[in-house]
Amino acid sequence: MNEMRPIAAIAELGRRLTRLGARPLDALRTDPPAEFHGRICSGLARRVTRRGGQVLVLLIAGADSSCLIQTSAASDQGGARADQSPGANPSARAKSDEAGETRVTNSFGAVLVRIAPGEFLMGSPESESGRTHHEGPQHRVRLTKTYYLGETEVTQAQWKSVMGSDGTPSPYAGDDLPVSGVTWQEAVDFCRKLSERPEERSAGRVYRLPTEAEWEFACRAGTSTPFSFGETIDSDQANYDADFIYGTGKKGLTRQRPCPCGSLPANAWGLREMHGNAWEWCSDFYSRDTYSARVDSANQVQVDPTGPPGGMAYVVRGGAWSSNPAEIRSASRTNYGPTYRQVLVGLRLCMDAP
Ligand SMILES: [Ca+2]
């Protein structure tokens, strides 16, 4: 696994920003004008943008993919360099924890990652290789509520635990493999049954499928590149048909089957296998005109969009183990009817903040 390793230069940058009055992630991401530009390379992401004299910096470091976003109200003090190791800024971490647990482990051991409110550019630019028409036009989306998303896809063991004798229809058996071959309705039923468990009810945890916007926001994890890992992707980062190359990428290992959930590197926000392994059901009805309708009707920031009011199919996202790399891009989308049992499609839990 590619672990993120602290780099001393980023830590020093973090300390200097703190001395300038930097604020942690939550304060920043509830303030919509934030825009991030940059790229991820070698397991380290650092993103800096300037807006009206404000310097916004995203620092990501640490083997657990912990991340810290800080902003300085002062002007850039001139190329500070340095690294932020996990926990190296206790004040920022403490403020984040005040707003809710950053990771929640539920009654069957599934880990869900806290996703703070924020704003992003949804869809892909016309220049993006492999892009299809229904990924545009790009439009700004603002998510105003904190939610939690599964660190991984739902495993077969978790599915069996909740659905009981229904077993798993997955074509490849393995407790730690993603459940797949489940219909949209079964995925919704899984969320409902899990929410009804006494231990989940008492904890106030109500599960559902993510909206398409919630899924893409979390998949991008602050990036605007085709993949959360950058301009291309390889088989060390995702499970897909790596006989195909995206951009300047390279051929790699084509596994031809799902890999264990959580076995591949996390994106900047701690989520794994968003790209590839198994497609993931979303709650939205699908329309190829979803995005153009948003722009035509308002041409303004879309707040907590939930998709068309009706339709014949539902959105699935992220691609699967047999997908070519273009299909596992952050903006890639396809759809299936609610009763269709596609062996490549599973799900990832979403939960509103308790
Ligand atoms: Ca996936």
pLDDT digits (tens, 9 = 90+) for 153-201: 999 999 999 998 655 667 899 999 999 999 999 999 999 999 999 999 9
68 and 160: one domain? no
174 and 268: one domain? yes
- Determine, yes or no, domain membership for 86: no
Read off the tokens for 266: 């996390």
Distance CA 152, CA 141 (A): 24
- Determine, yes or no, domain membership for 11: yes
207 and 124: one domain? yes
Residue ranges making up the domain that contains 23: 6-77
Residue pair 336/311 in contact (Cβ under 8 Å)? The answer is: no
50 and 111: one domain? no
CATH code of residue 147: 3.90.1580.10
Q: What is the mean pLDDT of residues 121-128?
A: 97
What distance in angstroms lies between residue 319's CA and the mean position of ligand 1's atoms?
A: 6
What distance in angstroms lies between residue 95's CA and the mean position of ligand 1's atoms?
A: 31
Summarised one tens digit per residue, pLDDT across range 276-323 is 999 999 999 999 999 999 887 667 899 999 999 999 999 999 999 999
Report angle CA 221, 223, 229 to the nearest 5 degrees.
85
67 and 96: one domain? no
From the list 225, 209, 202, the residue with the least C-alpha distance to 47 is 225
pLDDT of residue 102: 92
In sequence order, which residues have a C-beta less than 8 Å from that of residue 79 and are 6 or more positions away? Answer: none
Q: Check whether 64 has a pLDDT greater than 80.
A: no
Better-predicted residue by pLDDT, 80 or 200: 200
What distance in angstroms lies between residue 347's CA and the mean position of ligand 1's atoms?
A: 8
From the list 353, 345, 351, 354, the residue with the least C-alpha distance to 185 is 345
What distance in angstroms lies between residue 259's CA and the mean position of ligand 1's atoms?
A: 10
Query: Domain ends where: 43, 77, 111?
Result: 77
**What's the predicted TM-score (pTM) here?**
0.73
What distance in angstroms lies between residue 82's CA and the mean position of ligand 1's atoms?
A: 33
72 and 99: one domain? no
What distance in angstroms lies between residue 3's CA and the mean position of ligand 1's atoms?
A: 19
pLDDT of residue 167: 58
pLDDT of residue 164: 84
257 and 140: one domain? yes
Query: Domain ends where: 54, 77, 100?
Result: 77
In sequence order, which residues have a C-beta less than 8 Å from that of residue 12 and are 6 or more positions away? Answer: 80, 81, 82, 83
Q: Among 27-31, 133-137, 305-309, 330-334, where is mean pLDDT lowest?
A: 27-31
pLDDT of residue 261: 98
Distance CA 67, CA 61 (A): 6
- 302-303 sheet: strands from edge to edge: 118-122, 139-143, 302-303
CB atoms within 10 A of CB 75: 12
pLDDT of residue 139: 95
Better-predicted residue by pLDDT, 115 or 33: 115
- Determine, yes or no, domain membership for 1: no
Structural element, H or E, at residue 46: strand 44-51
What distance in angstroms lies between residue 286's CA and the mean position of ligand 1's atoms?
A: 18
70 and 209: one domain? no
- Determine, yes or no, domain membership for 274: yes
Residue pair 48/55 in contact (Cβ under 8 Å)? The answer is: yes
What distance in angstroms lies between residue 75's CA and the mean position of ligand 1's atoms?
A: 40
What distance in angstroms lies between residue 49's CA and the mean position of ligand 1's atoms?
A: 30
What distance in angstroms lies between residue 141's CA and the mean position of ligand 1's atoms?
A: 22
194 and 321: one domain? yes
- Determine, yes or no, domain membership for 84: no
What distance in angstroms lies between residue 108's CA and the mean position of ligand 1's atoms?
A: 20
52 and 155: one domain? no
Instruction: Write the single-letter amino acid at 154.
Output: V
Q: Check whether 11 has a pLDDT greater than 70.
A: no
pLDDT of residue 168: 63
Q: Among 79-83, 193-197, 206-210, 339-343, where is mean pLDDT lowest?
A: 79-83
Please provide the average confidence, as pLDDT, over all residues in the chain: 78
- 333-336 sheet: strands from edge to edge: 333-336, 314-317, 279-285, 345-346
What distance in angstroms lies between residue 80's CA and the mean position of ligand 1's atoms?
A: 37
- Determine, yes or no, domain membership for 209: yes
CB atoms within 10 A of CB 297: 9
What distance in angstroms lies between residue 309's CA and the mean position of ligand 1's atoms?
A: 25
Q: Check whether 130 has a pLDDT greater than 90.
A: yes
User: What number of helices (H) and strands (E) belong to the chain?
Assistant: 8, 16
Query: Domain ends where: 45, 77, 109?
Result: 77
- Determine, yes or no, domain membership for 265: yes
What distance in angstroms lies between residue 274's CA and the mean position of ligand 1's atoms?
A: 4
Residue pair 323/84 in contact (Cβ under 8 Å)? The answer is: no
What distance in angstroms lies between residue 292's CA and the mean position of ligand 1's atoms?
A: 26
pLDDT of residue 97: 38
What distance in angstroms lies between residue 206's CA and the mean position of ligand 1's atoms?
A: 22
Q: What is the mean pLDDT of residues 340-351?
A: 95
What distance in angstroms lies between residue 346's CA and the mean position of ligand 1's atoms?
A: 8
- Determine, yes or no, domain membership for 167: yes
Task: Give the count of alpha carbons within 13 A of 294, CB side only.
Answer: 27
63 and 102: one domain? no
* Domains of the chain: total: 2
Q: What is the mean pLDDT of residues 56-62?
A: 38
185 and 283: one domain? yes
pLDDT band at 85 (very low <50, low <70, confident <90, very high): very low
